[in-house]
Amino acid sequence: MTDILSGQFDPETRTFGRVPLTAWGALSRTAARYPDKAAVCEDSGDSLTFGELLSQAETASANLWAIGARPGTRVGILLDNSAAFLTALLAVNRIGAVSVMLPGKFSDAQLTEMIGIARVDILVVDDPRAAGTGDFLVPTTMALSDFLSPSGRPMPGAVTDPCAPAVHMFTSGTTGTPKRVVLTNRNIMHAVAAYEHVLDLTAEDSMIFGAALYHVTGVVAVALQCVYLGMTLHLQRRFDPVAFVHWAEDTGVTYIHGSPTIFQLMLENWPQERPQLGNVRLLACGAANMPPGRIQRLTEHMPAASFRTVYGLTETTSPATVFPVDAASSSLIGSSGTPIPGVTVRIVAPDGTELGSDEVGEITVSGTNVSPGYLDADDHFTAAEWLTTGDLGYLTADGYLYVVDRLKNQINRGGEKIHPNSVENVLCSLEGVEDACVVGVLDDLYGEVPAALVVVEEGTDIGELPEKLRGRIAKYAVPVRILPVDEIPRTVGMKTDRDAVRALLTER
């Protein structure tokens, strides 16, 4: 890479030398460099250049200011995937207010609860939904058309505090109780700069994305990453795997950042008339376990692509570790890579003692892009120097992280600990198995035992799978029940719904 926009990493400041203080600063820089370059292209055909995105966000920020938004004001963003989503995020950032990410796929009852907990001051919504927001009990609701309408109102000066909160995102964390993660400007800007470095991204790259933008991946690794570097973002309003593949080839995009579910849906629905995407040079994947077999099947369809596994959480503003080279061709496939610059990873025992190389324990993280803490339902802030992730893993002597599983997903079979991800990876490596989910189900003798749902190719003999697993995994880890399904149940956020999987296995 010849021109590193962010500059070099400084170990003393634990960030990069030429990083704007805020997302607004990044947009201002990019719009000055590429005013006429496409910033966002929607699958509807609508698009904005970086110059237009800057102008539209300035107008929106003036409209927010006129109705009382100030630094620290909480602005709920309840918008579908669109250029307007980016406009809202950047307009809020310009005036130093806080974007509260709201999941549009949730029910009104769920959203009402979240909006109340988040103490949203102003709600920005798509026009069709604006009329039905009376139950949300928000002081001010602003329809998207009003939010974007040119008004001639004076624009306030841009706020440039790197330590100020920029985004609040809901997460259940390790307790199952929804709480808000606070992400600062510094967290966000370091994350996008780190992605530039570890993935060798430049303004010459372009990205396609079809999952919901309101997650940390969508906000940071996609929307603001493109703004930061000047990459064009091709955006699907609703994910359609067949259309996604067609559009990826037609637009010549070079980069796809997706979840294991997105990539699995692409594989299941890959159009036969487009067997390969030769233009894609980079694939990045986080959010959940990605079986090595699935990685290799993906690269058969995209032979020029380097696959980079990412490990991160909402609390790490997306990346904590990234695989430094192509995982598909590496002997270390299955690892989540090494810590990004500015991040330290430790593995600890239940009592907090740091463990040595290759010892499995809880993954803890600290660093520049790690959230300063949480806001609970009572709006009380809890700071945390080290993030306890709730994930089990280990570090090799060379510093590579292997994520074993979620601590809460671990199956305890009469004292024997079973990690579902490990069993799923072996299942997916068997011929004819396309997808799998392993959970613990109640058992009178052992307390709980492993059971699995699988998606298989036509003609695959389910009865042979347990025997094929023996010898590859411990005998006690072989699922006692394996049931075929058309698809693995997913949550509205497109993650594996383990509760639904467990219910199916219990009922049947």
Each residue's pLDDT tens digit, 386-407: 999 999 999 999 999 999 888 8
Least Cα distance to 195 among 169, 166, 229 occurs for 229
Token pair 């803890």 is found at 364
pLDDT at residue 508 greater than cutoff 50:
yes
- Average of pLDDT values for 409-429? 85
* Residue 303 Rama label (left phi>0; alpha psi -120 to 50; beta): alpha
pLDDT at 178: 67
Q: Tens digit of pLDDT for each residue in 10-67?
A: 999 899 999 999 999 999 999 999 999 999 999 999 999 999 999 999 999 999 999 9
The secondary structure of residue 22, as a DSSP letter, is S
Question: pLDDT value at position 200?
Answer: 96
Query: Among 191-200, 226-235, 331-340, 410-419, which stretch is predicted with the lowest mean pLDDT?
Result: 410-419
Give the range among 118-122, 286-290, 495-499 with minimum mean pLDDT.
Answer: 286-290
Q: Which of 55, 8, 22 is nearest to 228 (CA)?
A: 22
pLDDT of amino acid 90 = 98
- The CA distances from residue 79 to 44, 47, 100, 113, 411, in Å, are 15, 16, 11, 18, 38
Cβ count within 10 A of residue 233: 26
Whole-number Å distance between alpha carbons of 410 and 346:
20
- Could you give the CA distance from residue 371 to residue 385 in angstroms, rounded to a whole number? 9
Q: What is the pLDDT of residue 195?
A: 97
Give the max Cα distance, the chain.
Answer: 73
Q: Give the tens place of pLDDT for each residue, 436-475.
A: 999 989 888 878 899 999 999 888 999 999 999 988 888 8
Ranges of beta strands (E only) in 111-246 are: 122-125, 140-143, 165-171, 179-184, 206-209, 232-235
- Give the 3-state secondary structure of residue 160: coil
**Strand order from edge to edge, sheet including 98-101:** 140-143, 122-125, 74-78, 98-101, 165-171, 179-184, 373-375, 381-383
**Average of per-residue pLDDT across 60-84:** 96
Residue recorded with tokens 């559009």: 247
- What homologous superfamily does CATH list for 410-507? ANL, C-terminal domain (3.30.300.30)
Which residues partner with 378 through β-bridges?
none
Residue 206: its pLDDT value, please? 98
State residue 415's pLDDT score. Answer: 77
End-to-end CA distance of the chain: 54
pLDDT in tens, 248-277: 999 999 999 998 888 988 998 999 888 889
pLDDT band at 2 (very low <50, low <70, confident <90, very high): very low
CATH of 19-401 among 1.10.150.20, 3.40.47.40, 3.40.50.12780, 3.40.50.150? 3.40.50.12780
| Domains of the chain, residue spans | 19-401, 410-507
Give the confidence band of 376 by pLDDT, cuts at 50, 70, 90: confident
Q: Give pLDDT tens digits for 171-183.
A: 864 445 568 999 9
Backbone CA torsion sign across 270, 489, 508, 435: positive
Q: Which of 40-44, 150-154, 330-334, 359-363 has the lowest mean pLDDT?
A: 150-154
pTM above 0.85, yes or no: yes
Contact 52, 223 (CB under 8 A): no
Give pLDDT tens digits for 99-113: 999 998 888 888 888
Amino acid symbol at 51: G
Distance CA 489, CA 499 (A): 9
Structure tokens at 247: 């559009």
pLDDT at residue 175, as a whole number: 45
Beta strand pairing call for 447-456 and 481-484: parallel
Which residues lie across from 139 on neighbouring strands? none
Please give the residue that has the higher pLDDT: either 174 or 353.
353
